[in-house]
Amino acid sequence: MKIVQALGWYFPESLGGTEVYVAALVQRLRAAGCDVAIAAPEPGAAGDRSYEHEGIPVYRYPVPIAPTRDEAQGEVPARGASRFHDWLARRRPEVFHAHSLVTGLGLHELRAAREAGARVIVTAHTGSLGFICQRGTMMRWGRALCDGVCRSAKCAACALHQRGLATPLCRLAGAMPPVIARAARRLPGRIGTALAMKDLIARNRDRQRRMLETVDTFVVLTEWARRAAIDNGAPRDQVALNRIGVSHAGIARKSSPDVAPARAPIAIGYLGRFDAIKGVRDLVRAVRAVPRELRLRVELRGPACTGDDRACLAELRALAGGDERLAFGPPVPPEAVPSLLAGWDVLCCPSTSLEGGPTVAIEAHAVGTPVVGTAIGGLAEMIADGVNGALVPPGDWRALAGALAGVARNPGATIDRWRRALPHPRTMDEVVADYRVLYER
């Protein structure tokens, strides 16, 4: 079977959960005899290029660093994406599986894959769930989990709030009559964006409908996301739930708490991108608020590939204020992740965005390390609060500080008890088996 896996970014320039997920998926498909290639846009590239990563062919095609409004909103194909369309026509895959919907990888590319004769699958890894959430996090006003239903006025106001507009003005723009919002699309700059946001949300709903008309199956990673997709009009039989799995084979759990109980100072870790939506600011603030007499050390590890990543890391260092309990480290190669997670007493996943995972949380469970996370997305479905970990409201750094103080104060009643109740992790072999059914249906 000839398969193309497409996503919005890839190794070596980018290192994140989606890339690790796709790499694990591809390796297993190759082992099963499938002819698999990876494709991803490359912003700012002069042309297309091909290379291999861990023995897998990768095709990169150019898209603009600064897309036009119409390109960013998917109204027209991104400049350079026609090279990808031509590549698909030559390769003629039997299955086209997209894991991102970004500039240069959207409806136009899904249709190009369909025209090339492919069965089309889309997996929603982010909180946007396709084109449902313009904010991309499924967090209402950035503070609480949304009801998941796209409505023009509600979603326009929330999206503009994320862009820094004052709340009263956000509500005013959300109440804009549709005819004025449509006309405002012709206005340049931020004023045009604000006035036309309600129209963009309406067009997003239409894009979601057209995406579902184009694809064979829309895959989500949590039960919450499945319900949200259906509530927004997706046919029940077109939405498939395929939860994330641990990608490392033969992972050995660390010694049981009866043999090696947690002892002070408690080692707490964060592993992921330095991005505000990952809740890293909340984590640093929480650690600063934990009483000094409670002994813990917190290590934050992750890539800082982009200017935004580096700016976030610099902000975190400033927030840390020289607190010796906080340490920042470099990214971790995928093969070293299990041993790093096993060395921590607790993994912290303070995400403020709906996620299907994060993948690192299920990897932590696989090695026997419990998770303190936010009560949203995949975390809320894999962690039973107070039974095998702890959940706090997203964005509530004070509640997070309380949870961290609790594990430091009494690790036996928290960490060690949680470790005994950790679930058996789902594996990528199971994930791939479910995808094979979709591919061959």
Q: What CATH code is carried by the domain that includes residue 283?
A: 3.40.50.2000
The answer to whether position 207 is within a domain reads no
Q: 279 and 193 share a domain? A: no
Which amino acid is located at 321 in the chain?
A: G
Does the residue 173 lie in any domain?
Answer: yes
**Within this chain, do residues 6 and 117 fall inside the same structural domain, yes or no?**
yes
Shared-domain flag, residues 175 and 293: no
Whole-prediction pTM value? 0.92
Residues with pLDDT less than 50, the chain: none
Q: What is the pLDDT of residue 335?
A: 85
| pLDDT value for 169 | 92
Torsion over CA: 41, 46, 49, 53 (sign): negative
pLDDT of residue 187: 87
User: Would 435 be classed as within a structural domain?
Assistant: yes
Residue 130 lies in a domain: no
Residue 387 DSSP SS3 = coil
In this structure, the answer to whether residues 236 and 104 fall within a common structural domain is yes
**Strands lying side by side in the sheet with 2-6:** 49-53, 56-63, 35-43, 2-6, 95-98, 119-123, 217-220, 239-241
What local confidence, expressed as pLDDT, does residue 249 receive? Answer: 58
**Domain total of the chain:** 3
| β-bridge mates for residue 105, sequence order | 102
Give long-range contacts, CB 8 A cutoff, 24+ apart: 287-291.
Answer: 287/320, 287/323, 287/325, 287/326, 287/401, 287/404, 288/319, 288/320, 288/321, 288/323, 288/326, 289/397, 289/398, 289/401, 290/325, 290/401, 290/404, 290/405, 290/408, 291/405
Measured CA to CA, the distance from residue 338 to residue 251 in angstroms comes to 7
- Residue 46: the pLDDT is 94
User: Does 300 lie in the same domain as 396?
Assistant: yes
Q: Which amino acid is at 355?
A: E
Asked, for residue 230, whether it belongs to a domain, the answer is yes
Whole-number pLDDT of residue 185 = 83
What was the pLDDT predicted at 191?
A: 85
Residues counted in the chain? 441
Are 84 and 219 part of one and the same domain?
Answer: yes
Same-domain status, 95 and 21: yes
Are 314 and 168 members of one domain? Answer: no
Q: Are residues 279 and 397 in the same domain?
A: yes
The answer to whether position 138 is within a domain reads: no
d(CA 232, CA 132): 8
pLDDT value of position 432: 97
* Residue among 197, 201, 207 nearest 176 (CA): 197
- 164 and 46 in a common domain: no
Domain that holds residue 350: 266-420
Asked whether residue 109 is domain-assigned, the answer is: yes
Is residue 224 located within the same domain as residue 310? no
Task: Give the whole-angstrom CA distance, residue 415 versus residue 368.
Answer: 10
pLDDT of residue 304: 85
Q: Are residues 233 and 101 in the same domain?
A: yes
Whole-number pLDDT of residue 384: 96
In a domain, 206, yes or no: no
**What CA–CA distance (Å, rounded) separates 412 from 407?**
8
**Amino acid 13: pLDDT:** 85
